[in-house]
Structure 1
Amino acid sequence: MNARSPQGLPARLLLAVLRAVRTYPRRSPLTLCYVGLLVLGHVWVENLLSTDRADALRGYISTNLDNLHDHPVTALFGSALLFDGTLTDIASTGFGGTLITLGLGICCCLSWAERRYGGLRAAAVLLGGHIGATLITAVVILIALRHGWYPDSVRQDSDYGISYGAQTSLAFATLALPRWARLPWAAFVLAWPLSGDGEWPGPLPDFTTVGHLLSAGLGFALAGTAALLAARRRRTEAALATADAHT
């Protein structure tokens, strides 16, 4: 059977997957190291620490208002080293979240950003989404508290993990798709945070949903900026080539 025929599509897909796995360490070393840290951190907290110590650690790195006021740097960067999900309970909704954030967001989309733009820019996308969305969400929470839209207990709520940075990476990876697929992908990125069963405490959804929507917005904004810069570079190169041709 010809691998180029329609019947050979599964074979081509399998070869593409195997090639991507084989070249992953070379093309996305930063993402690979980050995924390794996340998995090791997850195993350490979930399986090696006692329940009390694990809960205390999660509470300390949570990016809630009290922690951001008391130890903002530790909370922001510590939170980015754990993910709030499961690797083993495949029948749970938490595993679905792990597939989207760790699987799609980090392993796939962040890896693409690293291959396309380099490790430093990929890290900037991840940290820009994680830190930027967290801080903007904190401002939204303060406004909501002032208007009575959130209960005061939200100041100590648990909020840690990679999901904001992963959401920004998901949105940024819109650039990797053909034009016909970009709108459906954007709809998915915006819709999945709204698919949970959480109740709206007032005119706003819960603050984690707000954070995911804000991080998606940051990712789309970064993607748009990157597209504009690429278009400007192409125009400049074309103009220089035209000028060289006339000299």
Structure 2
Amino acid sequence: MRAGLRVLRGLRPWRLLPSPTGTPFTFGYAVILLLTSLFAEYGDPTLVSSLHQGSSTDVAHLADRPMFVLVASALWIAGGITSPYAIVFLLVLTALERRVGGLRTAGVFLLGHAVATLATEVPVGLSVLAGHLPGSSAYRLDYGISFGVAASVGALAGLLTPWLRWAVLAGFGWMLLQDLIAFTDPMTNWGHLLALVVGVATWPVLRGGRGRGAAA
């Protein structure tokens, strides 16, 4: 009984969420996403639509200003703050940053976001050039944080105990496979799986930097 009480006293549930001192990257990014989500919900619909279009990592925008849209597209949450990816973002990036620090966490997120975006959009561009897809496919609306979140899940799994690591990968991977089987948005669904693999590929680098994260 006393041992159980000591365990309960040792639990710090607030560490599951970001803080300005303990996880500054995740906290700052979360604030930005909250603001853009509120604007998307309550702002002028025409302006919101225009900003989404301007931030889209579609083929046309990637060919014209790739760096800008790769960053701008990650400032919005597809589906808003009620999206499951918003919750996963808070929990996973907080845990990852506490283990490896803000710089590596940002690197994992951006790497997954960029690689998965390019890997899904470049084939679309080539298909449009070859005449296999209509020109309108080059303007497919594409924005959000899901690729970066998927990569972060893959990266975090490598820092967990073996049984929890494979449970996380199996559970999240199965969810992504179900989305792919549903075939509602196959390009994005393939991108999620690829981003998860990108996160797993960062294990050697992250394990070398474990313990350098924030402690607060």
TM class by shorter chain equals: 0.7 to 0.9
Q: Which amino acid aligns with 2:86?
A: L
Establish whether residue 112 from structure 1 lines up as the match of residue 112 from structure 2.
no
Among residues 159, 172, 175, which one is paired with 1:192 in the alignment?
175
Establish whether residue 103 from structure 1 lines up as the match of residue 87 from structure 2.
yes
Q: Is the 1:82–1:160 Cα contact (8 Å) retained in structure 2? A: yes
Note the C-alpha offset of 1:58.
0.6
Q: Is the 1:63–1:160 Cα contact (8 Å) retained in structure 2? A: yes
Among residues 20, 26, 30, which one is paired with 1:25 in the alignment?
20
In structure 2, runs of 5+ residues without a counterpart are 211-216
Note the C-alpha offset of 1:34.
0.6
Aligned partner of 1:59 in structure 2 is 53
What CA distance in whole angstroms lies between the structure 1 residues aligned with 2:105 and 2:30? 14
Q: Which amino acid aligns with 1:67?
A: H
Note the C-alpha offset of 1:68.
0.8
Note the C-alpha offset of 1:152.
4.9
Partner-residue secondary structure (3-state), 2:12: helix
What CA distance in whole angstroms lies between the structure 2 residues aligned with 1:166 and 1:21? 16
TM-score, length basis structure 1 = 0.73
What CA distance in whole angstroms lies between the structure 1 residues aligned with 2:161 and 2:172? 16
Q: Which amino acid aligns with 2:96?
A: A
In structure 1, runs of 5+ residues without a counterpart are 88-94, 232-247
- Residues 54-107 of structure 1, C-alpha deviations (whole Å, 9 max, x = no match): 1111111111111111222221111111111233xxxxxxx4xx23x2222x21
Aligned residues: 209
Aligned partner of 1:78 in structure 2 is 72
Q: Is the 2:147–2:195 Cα contact (8 Å) retained in structure 1? A: yes
Among residues 9, 12, 22, which one is paired with 1:16 in the alignment?
12
- Residues 162-220 of structure 1, C-alpha deviations (whole Å, 9 max, x = no match): 1111111111110232101222211222222333387649xxx7210111111111001
Q: What are the equivalent positions in structure 2 for 1:1-247 lying under 5 Å apart? A: 1-2=1-2, 4-5=3-4, 12=8, 15-18=11-14, 20=15, 24-48=19-43, 50-87=44-81, 95=82, 98-99=83-84, 101-104=85-88, 106-142=89-125, 146=130, 148=132, 152-196=135-179, 200=183, 206-227=186-207, 229=208
What CA distance in whole angstroms lies between the structure 2 residues aligned with 1:73 and 1:22? 30
What CA distance in whole angstroms lies between the structure 2 residues aligned with 1:136 and 1:197? 16
Q: Is the 2:100–2:206 Cα contact (8 Å) retained in structure 1? A: no
Note the C-alpha offset of 1:224.
4.0
- Residues 102-139 of structure 1, C-alpha deviations (whole Å, 9 max, x = no match): 222x2122222222222111111111111121112222
Query: Which of 1 and 2 has greater Rg?
Result: 1
RMSD of aligned C-alpha atoms? 2.9
Relative to structure 1, the CA distance from residue 77 to residue 121 in structure 2 (aligned partners, 3 Å threshold; closer, same or farther) is same
Q: Is the 1:141–1:207 Cα contact (8 Å) retained in structure 2? A: no
Q: Is the 1:113–1:173 Cα contact (8 Å) retained in structure 2? A: yes
Partner-residue secondary structure (3-state), 1:27: coil
Aligned partner of 2:213 in structure 1 is none
Bigger relative contact order (CA 8 A; separation at least 6): 2
Relative to structure 1, the CA distance from residue 124 to residue 43 in structure 2 (aligned partners, 3 Å threshold; closer, same or farther) is same
